[in-house]
Amino acid sequence: MFENKDSENTSISSLGEFGLIDHLTKHFKIQNKTTVKGIGDDAAVLDPEEGKQLVVTTDMLVEGVHFDLSYMPLKHLGYKAVMVNLSDVYAMNALPSQITVSIAVSNRFPVEALEELYAGITTACEHYKVDVIGGDTTSSTTGLVISISAIGTVSEEKITYRNGAKENDLLVVTGDLGAAYLGLQILEREKQVFKVNPNAQPDLEPYSYLVERQLKPEARKDIPLLLSELDVKPTSMIDISDGLSSEVIHLCKSSNVGCNLYEDKIPLDPQVIATCEEFKMDSTTIALSGGEDYELLFTVSTKDFPKIKANPHLTVIGHMTHEKEGMHLITRANTKIPIIARGWNALTEED
């Protein structure tokens, strides 16, 4: 939604590569004492804390594949590009401290567009207290590509992999599911309406939570701290980027366990329920296959149940079983349906 006002735009070529890098990055301030040297040399320098392990993760976002600039404002895109990486760091039970940002841009984008992108990146860095310590800037023939890497730290006792879930462990999810996917559907619909009638004024108010979850999702930075306060070490953890069912499958396969997931336990926001009713969609399918919720999914030993049970951020949605039992959704009607990566196949219902 960047408005191309040619007269007020500055072309990238007028600044040159180094001028552009300087223009986009000069305002970044270092917030972490582990950052010794950020932007400006051949490499950044970090001074990791004694006894901590480093986690590193990277994600690439490609225009037309991962985002559509016709309804994704560049500022939101910058914010989200940082957030998706930090979500992966939190999913290791770690805390992020630095990121690098690499972009490939075509000259279709004026400098002002990149300023918007970096405004979003800056807001995310302030919110999550991470430092931008470098990156790369190159040209692209068509679209925009953003690749962000994040670095975080965690003690060896707290680090949480996907592969530690044990039979009988409880399956826990943070927040609620399905809203980000519905938000995307709402935005797609508005885009189509706009194409037909550019004067139509969309009323997005009934869908405000859904649209916000799509355009301004937040990583669960509170969860590693909450788990620490509750003195709970998850046995396995993953973030929900693709949808609950595919993340459950990842945990089960990595850990060599099965699971029973209870349909009636899946946390849904009232707007998700209302919107699913309005559009005659099944809210369970949306929660299972929707994706982009950036909540955390983890398993805990049953002995930790008293510590998590009353917590408003956490919902127990199932438990892990023996690998041989497979992965199942237990429906409200108490039937058992195999979980498959994209939702589940209702035709293979077992009684």
**Is residue 151 a contact residue for ligand ADP (CB under 6 A)?**
no
Site string for ligand ADP, 10-39 (x = CB under 6 A): -----------x---x-------------x
**Residue 239 assigned to a binding site:** yes
How many of the chain's residues bind ligand ADP (CB under 6 A)? 14
Of the candidate spans 55-63, 83-91, 100-108, 241-249, the one that interacts with ligand ADP by CB under 6 A turns out to be: 100-108
Which CB, 19 or 64, lies closer to Mg ion? Answer: 19
**Dihedral angle of Cα 271, 273, 277, 280, to the nearest 10 degrees:** 110
Neighbours of 242 (CB within 10 A): 18
Q: Where are the beta strands (DSSP E) in 170-288?
A: 170-174, 236-239, 257-262
Of the candidate spans 44-52, 65-73, 128-136, 296-304, the one that interacts with Mg ion by CB under 5 A turns out to be: 128-136
**Is residue 206 a contact residue for ligand ADP (CB under 6 A)?**
no
β-strands 327-330, 257-262: how paired? parallel
**Is residue 136 a contact residue for Mg ion (CB under 5 A)?**
yes
**Is residue 22 a contact residue for Mg ion (CB under 5 A)?**
no
**Residue 22 assigned to a binding site:** no
**Which residue's structure tokens are 């004024």?**
201
**Residue 162 assigned to a binding site:** yes
Neighbours of 97 (CB within 10 A): 25
Give the phi and the psi of residue 312 in degrees, each rounded to 5. -65, -20
d(CA 336, CA 351): 6
Measure the CA angle with vertex 186, ends 180 and 189; round to 5°. 145
Nearest CA among 326, 324, 304, 328 for reference residue 316: 304
Among 46, 132, 171, 227, the residue binding ligand ADP under the rule CB under 6 A is 132
**Is residue 113 a contact residue for ligand ADP (CB under 6 A)?**
no
Site string for ligand ADP, 39-78 (x = CB under 6 A): xxxx------------------------------------
**Which residue's structure tokens are 């980027």?**
241
**Is residue 314 a contact residue for ligand ADP (CB under 6 A)?**
no
Query: Known binding site for substrate: residues?
Result: 66, 292, 344
| Interacting residues with Mg ion (CB under 5 A) | 136
